[in-house]
Every structure is written in C-alpha cells, then in structure tokens.
C-alpha cells in the first residue's frame, strides 16, 4: 500500500514536507492522534516504532484497548446511477447488495496488496 508503513499490525500514513525537509507520519486505525517524524527514512521508521511501542505501553498502563474497534458496518454515499447498477448486478447474482459491496471491496484489497 502506497505511503503506508507497518509495525506490530499498526499502520502509519507517511508524507514529506519539502519546506521542512522532513518525513512525518500519523498512525491510522486508532482512536487517538499519534504523530512522529524523521529526517531520513531510517529515522522515520524508528520514530514510528517508538511511537507504537509508547502507545501500547500507555494503553496498558491506563487499561485502555489500544486498537480502534471496527464494527463491520459503515455508510457510503454513491450516485443513484451507481447504486442502481450495483443493485441490479447483485440481484442478477442472487446475492444481497451488502454481499456484492463486500466482494467488490475484498477484490480491490486483493488487487492492491
């Protein structure tokens, strides 16, 4: 996945500031806001790993669940035209619209690995 790094099953989105000549990132998929930075890729990765480790330690100390909870449902907004086409395809396959969307997302995830 582009511009993402992983450590201990946590992911961070990475960007670069040409003004500051600095890499910076933020951990995604958690309820808290955690950022880190580095002047090189190696320094950035080390700062990310330290941020994850510090976050996990802090969560353990305060008795907080560290991973953001994903309940498995979310709302999306699409054009009525796409909604209609998706529903027709789902019906033609004799599956629910939810199942059709789940399969489409799963196929996209497999393609982007």
Domain ranges of the chain: 4-62, 80-111
pLDDT digits (tens, 9 = 90+) for 57-90: 999 999 988 887 677 888 899 999 999 999 999 9
- Does the pLDDT value for residue 113 go beyond 80? no
In terms of C-beta density within 10 A (0-12 exposed, 13-18 middle, 19 or more buried), how is residue 106 classed? Answer: exposed
Q: Phi and psi at residue 35, in whole multiples of 5°?
A: -120, 165
Q: Which of 1-5, 27-31, 75-79, 84-88 is predicted with the least confidence, judged by mean pLDDT?
A: 1-5
Task: Indicate the CATH number for domain 4-62.
Answer: 3.30.160
């Amino acid at each position: 996945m582009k511009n993402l790094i992983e450590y201990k099953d946590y992911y961070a989105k990475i960007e670069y500031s040409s003004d500051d000549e600095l890499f910076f990132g933020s951990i995604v998929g958690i309820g808290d806001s955690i950022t880190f930075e580095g002047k090189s890729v190696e320094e950035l990765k080390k700062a990310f790993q330290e941020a994850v480790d510090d976050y996990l330690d802090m969560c353990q100390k305060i008795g907080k669940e560290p991973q953001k909870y994903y309940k498995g449902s979310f709302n999306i907004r699409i054009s009525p035209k796409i909604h209609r086409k998706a529903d027709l395809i789902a019906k033609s396959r004799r599956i629910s619209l939810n199942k059709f969307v789940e399969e489409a997302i799963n196929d996209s995830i497999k393609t982007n690995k």
